[in-house]
Structure 1
Amino acid sequence: MRRALIPVFLVLLTGPVAAGQALSERAEGGWRLGFPAGQSTLDAAARDALAGIAPALAALPQGRITVEAQASGPSDDASLARRLSLARAGAVRDALVAAGLPATRIDIRALGRRDPPADIAEILPPGAPRAESGPAPRSTR
């Protein structure tokens, strides 16, 4: 019975990412959580939404969950964007752990400012596509 409630609950959580913190499903798999610009803390609704998906992630038989976070600004300070995205990824990881997902199954990636800029964290189950890391490799001819 409990297993049947998880998909129904996840449908209730979906919706567009607004300026605040809203959890939505990604078409590629996983979830996206929006953050207000410049902030890294989770509000009560975001913590509750993450607590709703944590049991489904914990029930996966194997594999690691990745939390990738981004920050939209400022464009002239890559270090600040990277630190903000790291704080966001850590806040999401902490909420998932508080909801019962083992910390040893979670990887975090601070992506900093990407193109296009976004204020989000993505929760990616095993097999979901991850963001490309860094620029394309250069030819060494």
Structure 2
Amino acid sequence: MPPSPAEAPPQPADLSVVPSPAPAAGPAGPTLQGLPAGLEALPAGGARLRFQPGVEVLPQGLDSGLAELGRRIAAGPPGRIAVTAQASGPASDVSAARRVSLARALAVKQALAAGGLPPTRIDIRPMGRTAEALDAVDVQPPEPKAAR
């Protein structure tokens, strides 16, 4: 039998757009129920806060809603939460989108901490521009502890 033909080399990665985070495998974490106005429920149990393009500060009136969410998360099961921020910023300037997403993540972290959630429990993930090109910040509750 003749040897199989060589495969073509893989295409180089497109580094102009940061891929969006993949959802975690396995059972979904606890859901955030009864979300304050301005927050959308996510299928995996988290919450999404939308921003206007280029805006880094929290939408007006949402700081108190995020503080309430921080109080509820702090009173719930222990664990770290993830704040994942995205920006639709210009595809030609990756660092600008990263800066906007970082500012958004920090603003959400500060509002959650104002409600009593210890800042050391909040992991921020400024994704910059993702393939979805969203202007949003997602808050994921702590993962449930595995049974031992």
Normalised by the shorter chain, which TM-score bucket? 0.7 to 0.9
Work out whether 1:111 is the aligned partner of 2:124: no
Report which structure shows greater RCO (CA 8 Å, sep ≥6). 2
The sequence identity of aligned pairs, in percent, is 46
Work out whether 1:69 is the aligned partner of 2:78: no
Paired residue type of 2:70? A
TM-score, normalised on structure 1?
A: 0.74
Counterparts of 1:12 and 1:52, CA distance in 2: 8
Q: Which has the higher helix share?
A: 1
Q: 1:120 and 1:76, CA in 2 relative to 1: closer, same or farther beyond 3 A? A: same
Q: Could you list the runs of 5+ residues in structure 1 that have no partner in the other structure?
A: 1-5, 14-21, 129-141
Which residue of structure 2 aligns with residue 18 of structure 1?
none
- State the 1:23 CA deviation: 1.1
Q: Check the 8 A contact 2:36/2:65 in 1, yes or no.
A: no
The alignment's C-alpha RMSD in Å is 1.8
Work out whether 1:60 is the aligned partner of 2:76: yes
Aligned length: 113
What SS does the aligned partner of 1:121 have? Answer: strand
Paired residue type of 2:41? E
Paired residue type of 2:118? P
The equivalences for 1:23-42 within 5 A come to 23-42=39-58
Counterparts of 2:76 and 2:123, CA distance in 1: 15
Q: Could you list the runs of 5+ residues in structure 2 that have no partner in the other structure?
A: 1-31
Counterparts of 1:58 and 1:29, CA distance in 2: 16
What SS does the aligned partner of 2:64 have? Answer: helix
Q: Check the 8 A contact 2:57/2:107 in 1, yes or no.
A: yes
Counterparts of 1:23 and 1:109, CA distance in 2: 18
Aligned equivalent of 1:84, options 100, 105, 113: 100
Which residue of structure 1 aligns with residue 110 of structure 2?
94
